[in-house]
Structure 1
Amino acid sequence: MSAPAPLFPQEQQFLDAFQQAVDAQRFERLILSQYKGELEQLEKITLRVISLQNEQVMSCLYRYKTQDVTKNYPLNQAAAQAAELLQRCRQANLFTADEELQLKKNRKKALLTVSQLKPEAKPGQEQQGHDRAKRRYVDQDSPFLQLLGIADAKAQIIPSMARKWKQINKFVEICAGAVEQIQGADRPLHVVDFGAGKGYLTFALYDYLAKQLQAPFVTGVELNPKMVEFCREAAEASGFAQLDFFQGDVRTYAPKQLDVMIALHACDVATDFAIHSGIRLNAQMIMCAPCCHKELRPQLRSPKVLAPMLQFGIHAGQQAEMLTDTIRALLLKAYGYDTKVFEFVALEHTSKNKMILATKRSGFTAPDPEVLAQIQALKEMYGIQKHSLELLLNDQWDQQNIGCKC
């Protein structure tokens, strides 16, 4: 092996700045591009500091044309690794807390420029066109976006997929904030997405978690066999080794371990079965966007004071939807979860925009009687006799209390 070429003074200055930023905890990321080494189809390398098992490491994301590969190194090896990679790249961009250093070089010379970053332009915020302040949780040039038909060959979002692109980023943003709060987030998470469809959100979440944490185990559950086959092929082409797809539904797929349960737009009581699976398997996070609220509508009996309002069909439908999801949220709360109900994305992007997000509290021993009493009062007020999630949880709790295993 030939000896490495001597460094230009600008290269050494760049590496010194990198080491100083890491030591001072001011380092944000390092992007190495225009790779000219022996690794075929390697487009760029991104270095970030992440926490694994309560220890900080340097995470190197190698982005190829068809897949991403992540390797982690101890922080005390970061400078040597960066120096070795820099030898094979003609451009490097170092982002610290307050400045950007750009190094460009060829065989004869190197050029180093330093610029101060404005607060809105710091790393982690996507720089597209003139809109440097907008943050994206999914890199627009991720290969899976092209495989799923969201971006074109030039990594530009296809106009007809603009709304889907917004949903994907909002979804991952919500997940990212919730994952930080759950127990065990420093290990590979087991994630199940019921009703995965074409896998837009499933792929995006896998991609995000794989870059931020240890590679997760993610399973998309989908009834349509053609969709399952398509997603499996796309996962393989993306290099997502621990992303799998199962043909079936929430009643046929029974995971042995579940940390994060997702059910977006599962029709009617399928949402209840999905939530029940999450609670039964002690999921640390449950995330669902319900749709097709049909179960409570025929049961709804208007309280006398509300009869003038609920005589209109659209109002009765909205009331049934709100009541259905209120009971779901209260049941999650009663069974040991901190629960939020909020707007997922604006109505202009999708009419199915309500999100229920629940994260597990520690110390749960029994359902909260006060919350259960609130549910019963609502049911009596509206004449509700049956709510599927309540029945599933009651059956589970009865079996547990007589020594049976669910």
Structure 2
Amino acid sequence: MQEIKNAIDEVLSSKLIKAVISNNKDKNAEYRKIGINLKEKSNGEEFYQIEKFTQKQVFHENISEKELNDKFMEFMEMGYRQADIWSEGINFNIKISKKGKVFIGKKRTDNSSVAQKTKQHNKKKEYILKEGMDIQPLIDLGVFTKDGKVVNSKYDKYKQINRFIELIDHEIRKQNFEELTILDFGCGKSYLTFVLYYYFTEIKKINVNMIGLDLKEDVIKNCNEIAKRYGYKNLRFEMGDINGYRFNNKVDMVITLHACDTATDYALYNAVKWNTKMIFSVPCCQHELNAQMKPQNLSILSNYGIIQERVAALMTDSIRGNLLEAAGYRTQLLEFIDIAHSPKNILIRAVKGNISEEKKNKCIDEVEKLISEFSFNPTLYKLFREDGII
């Protein structure tokens, strides 16, 4: 190990800009490779960012220059046999033979362009809803000031709203939509509905007919007054229950945000019945399966209330995703917001597409095995079965 330490000391005698540590002798090692990059904060302070790459994920850690030597040594002791290093004026290459012999190669070069690239940190994100835009719903929500600046205390909310818009925009930009009919189930006070209307009409220039649905008469009255005040002529709000709502025209998009428990299932069911092109759903309060959960062979999942609650919620959305696939929708379960801000952080995005019969059958089989194991009777499964959708 002394040879490795000497090699690292030599490498770090000049300022490290970038390093890639790879070729672990253990093929089952947790990390395929490890990157080290010099970064710079907006105030000019430098630090190093560690990137640890598994087969499917990358984990980050920030360290100071003082910690660099120990960290580098720690990584090399984990069994990696190669390190490629870019420093100021020199490139290094460390290789360790199977017998532990250390070889170090050096090449003088100008790495100023590498330094400039790696120092870029937290590059300002380009949001769809940009500061300076005249978005009255965001002003009324307290996210924007009157001159269009983000209120500091509302920055997380600003990011959440943009994230939701981005997830919709990902599908919208795939086609040249000229008009869309959109139903928003359980719209509540509807500020996000108003923001969506702004996005479709002002940013995407799409002619939309948008309807918000809620059970509270005072909420519906207030939202219609706000829509009129904003001049959103093709946005209206109606009072109604998701379960029994009827709509006779074509529907291009269904949105459900935090429809509680099985209300989400009825919204998804209606969306599929209408042959809706796109579905965006953020479920909430998944109580149904939690109350039914009686594992046949996996009682460990019901031994602890908090575990049962969380597992049941995840199973609920897994079942919904599979059933939507079986109904002919390309379905993804995506992180809507950081789980640090809310445990209700899953968004179901389903888009009408060509799903093979083999895939549909597999999805149904997986659902039925889960139902059998835990004695579930999911509402969406019942609705789809009774109506012949699956």
Q: TM-score, normalised by structure 1?
A: 0.61
How many pairs does the alignment contain? 266
Q: Render the CA deviation track for 1:3-57: whole Å, top value 9, x for unaligned.
A: xxxxxxxxxxxxxxxxxxxxxxxxxxxxxxxxxxxxxxxxxxxxxxxxxxxxxxx
Aligned pairs (5 A) from 1:7-406: 133-140=124-131, 141-181=134-174, 185-210=176-201, 211-255=203-247, 256-304=249-297, 306-362=298-354, 368-384=360-376, 386-397=377-388
- Unaligned runs of 5+ residues in structure 2 are 1-121
How far is 1:252 from its partner? Answer: 4.1
Cα pair 2:339 2:345 within 8 Å, conserved: yes
Cα pair 1:219 1:246 within 8 Å, conserved: yes
Q: Which residue of 2 aligns with 1:9?
A: none
Cα pair 2:333 2:346 within 8 Å, conserved: yes
Residue identity (%): 31
How far is 1:366 from its partner? Answer: 11
Whole-Å Cα distance in 1 between the matches of residues 374 and 384 of structure 2? 21
Whole-Å Cα distance in 1 between the matches of residues 185 and 125 of structure 2? 30
Cα pair 1:171 1:201 within 8 Å, conserved: no
Letter in 1 for 2:276: A
Cα pair 2:294 2:302 within 8 Å, conserved: no
How far is 1:215 from its partner? Answer: 1.8
Letter in 1 for 2:372: E
Letter in 1 for 2:158: W
Q: Render the CA deviation track for 1:92-128: whole Å, top value 9, x for unaligned.
A: xxxxxxxxxxxxxxxxxxxxxxxxxxxxxxxxxxxxx
Cα pair 1:291 1:352 within 8 Å, conserved: yes
How far is 1:159 from its partner? Answer: 4.5
Cα pair 1:148 1:234 within 8 Å, conserved: no
Cα pair 1:186 1:213 within 8 Å, conserved: no
Whole-Å Cα distance in 1 between the matches of residues 274 and 355 of structure 2? 16
Larger radius of gyration: 2
Q: Alpha carbons of 1:158 and 1:274: their partners in 2 closer, same or farther (altered >3 Å)?
A: same
Letter in 1 for 2:222: F
Cα pair 1:333 1:339 within 8 Å, conserved: yes
Cα pair 1:342 1:356 within 8 Å, conserved: yes
How far is 1:353 from its partner? Answer: 0.8
Letter in 2 for 1:217: N
Whole-Å Cα distance in 2 between the matches of residues 218 and 312 of structure 1? 43
How far is 1:248 from its partner? Answer: 2.0
Q: Render the CA deviation track for 1:273-316: whole Å, top value 9, x for unaligned.
A: 00001100011111111111111112211243x32343011111
Q: Alpha carbons of 1:280 and 1:367: their partners in 2 closer, same or farther (altered >3 Å)?
A: farther
- Unaligned runs of 5+ residues in structure 1 are 1-130, 402-406
Cα pair 1:259 1:284 within 8 Å, conserved: yes
Letter in 2 for 1:224: K
Q: Render the CA deviation track for 1:65-104: whole Å, top value 9, x for unaligned.
A: xxxxxxxxxxxxxxxxxxxxxxxxxxxxxxxxxxxxxxxx
Structure 1 vs Structure 2 CA RMSD = 2.5
- The alignment partner of 1:216 has SS state of strand
How far is 1:161 from its partner? Answer: 3.5
How far is 1:213 from its partner? Answer: 3.5
Whole-Å Cα distance in 1 between the matches of residues 351 and 269 of structure 2? 14
- The alignment partner of 1:397 has SS state of coil
How far is 1:160 from its partner? Answer: 4.7
Whole-Å Cα distance in 1 between the matches of residues 255 and 284 of structure 2? 14
Whole-Å Cα distance in 2 between the matches of residues 367 and 308 of structure 1? 30
Letter in 1 for 2:235: L
Q: Alpha carbons of 1:379 and 1:309: their partners in 2 closer, same or farther (altered >3 Å)?
A: closer
Whole-Å Cα distance in 2 between the matches of residues 326 and 363 of structure 1? 17
Cα pair 1:196 1:202 within 8 Å, conserved: yes
- The alignment partner of 1:296 has SS state of helix
Q: Render the CA deviation track for 1:232-284: whole Å, top value 9, x for unaligned.
A: 22222222111111122312432222111111110000000000011000111
Cα pair 1:199 1:231 within 8 Å, conserved: yes
Q: TM-score, normalised by structure 2?
A: 0.63
